[in-house]
Amino acid sequence: MREIETKILVTNEGLLAPAQVDEVVSAWEQGFLVAFPTETVYGLGANALSADAVVRIFAAKGRPSDNPLIVHVGDISQAVELAGYFPPAASALAEQFWPGPLTIVLPAAAHIPAVTRGGLATVGIRIPSHPTALQLLRQSRLAIAAPSANTSGRPSPVSAQDVWDDLAGLIEYIVYSGRTGIGVESTVVSVGDEGVRVLRPGGVTVEQLAEVADVTIDPGALGDAPVVGPAASPGMKYRHYAPKAPAVLVEGSNPGAVEEKVMDLALTLAADGQTIGVLACTETCNLLRGHNTENLIMVPTGPRKDMAAIAANIYHCLRELDRSGVDHIVIEGVPPTGMGLAVANRLRKAAGYQLVRADS
Ligand code: TXA
Ligand code: MG
């Protein structure tokens, strides 16, 4: 039931005023829910050490209870307290990538409630780099559990408006700052004897990780097929980021062939009289505009060569497609390297694993 009055706190140049910080800290201490910006996506924060507060996160999002939450802190000493054991390999990653878009899964300290961990013996920890997030975490000294601040199954929120659209009336506060910079979630890794294992690709690329550690990618992190059997990370099992209309994703190693297949599929489906949404790079959308575009709604993601721009726009574009009420969606895939791996993972899940290969 949406009966809570959701209050908005507006930041000024990326920071909250001292009285606003006090208001958020006191809200968290009372077990309330506060959505706040991070450099990746907006998070829905509550006191990670209060089982009652964390249960409310799951309820507001409609999130399956076996999917653990990431715990956010303001400095490494707090992170060390949350981990039952902080191996040297994790310290090296923390040193290099914190504050930033990396979540490290470690054995959990006993005082972290089971509900926060989704019942696992481990906990995912991250120090975000967004100035507002750091301000709140450092001044509160609290450990804040924060999943993405969207309804489960919807695209993650990259603006306060996205959070409002999903959660108004269900949470106490939204901290309003601009669009998030990275636009896809943090990279989730586990650290073990065999090195660093990527469980979810995200804002820190595999190439960046490989500069400081031996890296393997868990097959479930690719998102190219549903995970069968036990998942290394529960989030792999769920079809996230699902637009309302059925979607098909075109992938292939030759960008020209992918572009051609996207145009061909879109025009063929549109000729049948359906309204077709096209989620593709600016170049492909421009080419399509030269055709009969009566039944096409183009949602450009960004210039083909600018993967950072595409990542920053992808969830916004998926929400726009939902609002446009299209019958079917055709999505142009991206090369799965660098930030492209995180984007490809989100697109594959958005398409519900409906992949078409365009190889030539
Ligand atoms: O960028 C982000 O990571 C954002 C911002 C708000 O920090 N948060 C976020 O949280 O994306 P969420 O809950 O939407 O996604 C967390 C992912 C899930 O796929 C979950 O299964 C995985 O991290 N995860 C969390 N704790 C884990 C653990 N102990 N073991 C394995 N996977 C874990
Ligand atoms: Mg999420």
Element (H, E) at 134: helix 131-140
Angle separating helix axes 307-324 and 339-350, nearest 10 degrees = 20
Query: What ligand has the least distance to the C-alpha of 315?
Result: 2
Q: How far is the CA of 288 from the centre of ligand 1 (A)?
A: 37
Task: Give the number of whichever ligand sits closest to the CA of residue 68.
Answer: 1
**Ligand 1 atom nearest residue 200's Cα:** 19
Atom number of ligand 1 nearest to Cα 203 = 1
Protein residues whose CB sits closer than 6 Å to any atom of ligand 1? 38, 40-41, 43, 67-70, 101, 103, 105, 117, 120, 122-124, 126, 128, 146-148, 185-186, 188, 199-200, 233-235
Closest atom of ligand 1 to 146 CA is 6
Ligand 2 geometric centre to CA of 83 (Å): 22
What pLDDT score was predicted for residue 292? Answer: 79
- Edge-to-edge, what's the strand order for the sheet holding 70-72? 7-10, 173-176, 34-36, 43-47, 144-145, 70-72, 122-126, 102-107, 187-192, 195-200, 215-217
Q: What is the pTM of this model?
A: 0.97
In angstroms, what is the span from residue 303 Cα to ligand 2's centroid? 26
What is the number of other CB atoms lying within 10 angstroms of the CB of residue 323? 9
pLDDT at 360: 65
Instruction: Tokens for 193, please give them.
Output: 């004897």
Q: Residue 61: in which H helix or E strand, if any?
A: helix 51-61
Ligand 1, atom nearest to 148 Cα: 14
Give the ranges where 152-254 is alpha helix by DSSP (H). Answer: 160-167, 206-210
Does residue 332 contact residue 259 with C-beta atoms inside 8 Å? Answer: yes
Over the chain (360 residues), what is each successive 10-residue block's mean pLDDT?
Answer: 93 96 98 98 98 98 96 98 94 97 98 98 98 98 98 95 98 97 98 90 98 95 82 82 88 96 96 95 96 91 98 96 94 97 95 87
